[in-house]
Amino acid sequence: MIGEEHKVAGDWFRLHFVENPGMAFGMQLGGSFGKILLSVFRIIAAAFGVYYIIKIVRAKEHNGYVVCVALILAGAVGNIIDSMFYGLIFDQGTTLDMATGRYIDYYGVAEYSSQGYAGFLHGCVVDMFYFPVLQGKFPSWFPIWGGEPFEFFRPVFNFADASISFGVGAILVFQKKFFKPKKEETITEPIAEA
């Protein structure tokens, strides 16, 4: 846990400051090279996303589908901007130790700094929404995790993550509506008279 946590609605909705150095759910690609690789991949994926939106708008695809793809792209671009600039203008929080390639937590809310804590494309993405809706322990008879604590919904996320998740979820839910088969024009030939 980094920084403060503020309860918004009971115990199930909290604002919780977390600096995520990697991708979804805090997964990482190992050190400085992995961070650059991830950032370059995100930028290429976003460029493809712009191309794809232009393509589906020109093809007059379902408006709902276009909106969903735009939500996914907006979320991706938001996380890219965070990763590009956050480390340049803030300090504290999390920093990359260039010698070991590991992130070090300072356990404080980031503050504006003219120095920053990381270079271009090496910054973290800030996550803040936390919904620990259900907490408890797995029963002792439960395989693998028996007796261990569990929490639903554990991930901490941001607006960009929510935008991506909503866009993908809506595409899955409404796929029959978005991807109706196009009506093919049938060409009938006149019957030859004998």
Q: Is residue 187 in some structural domain?
A: no
Q: Is residue 120 in some structural domain?
A: yes
pLDDT at 146: 79
- Contact 114/83 with Cβ under 8 angstroms? no
pLDDT at 110: 63
What CA–CA distance (Å, rounded) separates 54 from 90?
35
Domain span at residue 56? 5-178
What CA–CA distance (Å, rounded) separates 94 from 21?
8
In the predicted model, is pLDDT for residue 62 greater than 90? yes
pLDDT at 180: 79
Q: Is residue 190 in some structural domain?
A: no
Q: Which residue has the higher pLDDT, 140 or 102?
A: 140
Q: Is residue 32 in some structural domain?
A: yes
Domain count within the chain = 1
In the predicted model, is pLDDT for residue 48 greater than 90? yes
Q: Is residue 105 annotated as part of the catalytic site, yes or no?
A: no
What CA–CA distance (Å, rounded) separates 91 from 3?
13
Q: Is residue 43 in some structural domain?
A: yes
Structure tokens belonging to residue 140? 């002792």
Q: Is residue 127 annotated as part of the catalytic site, yes or no?
A: yes
pLDDT digit string, tens, across residues 74-129: 998 988 888 888 777 776 555 545 455 555 554 556 666 677 667 777 777 878 78
Q: Is residue 192 in some structural domain?
A: no
Torsion of CA 25, 30, 32, 37, to 10 degrees: -70
Q: What percent of the chain has pLDDT over 90?
A: 23
Q: Is residue 129 in some structural domain?
A: yes
**Which of 82, 97, 105, 127 is the catalytic position?**
127
In the predicted model, is pLDDT for residue 147 greater than 70? yes
